Structure 1
Amino acid sequence: MEISFKGKRILVTGAGQGIGRGIAIELWRAGANIVALSRTRTHLESLQSEYPSIEIVDVDVADWDKTREVIESLGHFDALVNNAAIAICEPFLTCSAADFNKTFDINVKAALNISQVVARKMVENKTPGSIVNISSQASKAALKDHAIYSASKAALDALTRAMALELGPYGIRVNSVNPTVIMTAMAKVGWSDPKKSSEMLAKIPLGRFGEVSEVVNAVVFLLSEKSSMINGVELPIDGGFLAT
């Protein structure tokens, strides 16, 4: 299935490493003009050194006003991927207000903030568009020590549905993908302990964790016209975890 984004301008947040970096590169390969956003400048510079035509922007998306100012300055986009996120994993009984606020500022409020600016320009320009939010299987199933993270991703799913409902009449589709553990460089370290990974793997019928490319491919499809009637969907990429 050929998918082309030639002539399309796409913003990818959290694009410095991991899934976001993979998404930015694959969309670039499909012909898109990419703006890669991240808090960490060095990660962005590494990306740009490999793909010089990718535009890079560093901003801490937890800062509502600064982020809004930066996104406003970037102009019109045809599509958006809200990938920037943080995971603070701790037992429910020791969750703190500070960690809750930090997690929701990045995982939920930033997606709302950035999407508002991008979607308003789509509406003003009378151009259809597509937005994909990167959620998690943790929004659908309880995971130990993930109370705040899970709550933030469940909120992101709800936001996705509301966005799909309100933006659909303007030709703007909004969907989320909800991956299981994906083997980024960070995850390979965090899930390398067989004792920790075996319990999770036992719940995945395919018997393995996901690869970055498997999330990237789903995102590319949902952004494209190949998914033109898909709106308001929360797509698990979990090897069947949620089916069991």
Structure 2
Amino acid sequence: MNQQDYYEIGESKRLPLRCPILNYCSRRAVTIYFNSDYYKSNSDLTVEEALIKDGTLPQDFESKKIQIQGEPPSWIKGSCNYHFDGMCPEVNLFDNMNSLFKGVACISAEYDKYYPAPKHRVLKTQHYSKCSEFNWYMFERGRLKISNTKPRKTISAKTRSILQKEIKSICPICSNEDVEHFQVHHIDENPTNNDVENLLMLCPICHSKITKGDISYSEVKNIKKELNKTK
């Protein structure tokens, strides 16, 4: 898996092109540590201490780090061979200084001096979205978002009447006229803000598209703005 393949996977999943937890991921730190033989020159330091001292990791890494989830990286090295598994894919793919397989999202590989060519063999590649640390991060972020969700306030019948009149009983996006099933969208996504200027009545299908991000916030704002012009 090269950089282009890697980027395409991220785009298809609607994720950032690079791993968003990169600077605070312990798996990445361990991968850099072993790939670069830091342990030889900094044997008295921990992984984090060696990389922070070198400037590879941010100074606040210790307080913000995401611990390795599941199986830790493994590294077996002999005088003429080595095998590693469970490494961070972004180190080999992007980090030219600390990469053993440059330009490949490699998490598992081996080398043996006595192999017929190729002596370096990639065993497994992976996108960061498959990493345990990233999925833990997404789970925790989602859990925090849920725990911080504000209670939804009931929208009054009077407000609904105003909103329906505003759109002339027609979905302002797709022109659906099944007004009995229309829903109300909070433009700022704050369910406690029932100000008429923050609300838009529309059909369930278009409401779902907004929620999924298929219709952007700016598009919704412009629709509301145009409706206000026709009042």
TM-score between the two structures when normalised by the length of structure 1 = 0.22
More helix by share: 1
TM-score, with structure 2 as normaliser: 0.23
Q: Which has the larger radius of gyration?
A: 2
Tell me which of the two structures has the higher relative contact order, counting C-alpha pairs closer than 8 angstroms and 6 or more residues apart: 1
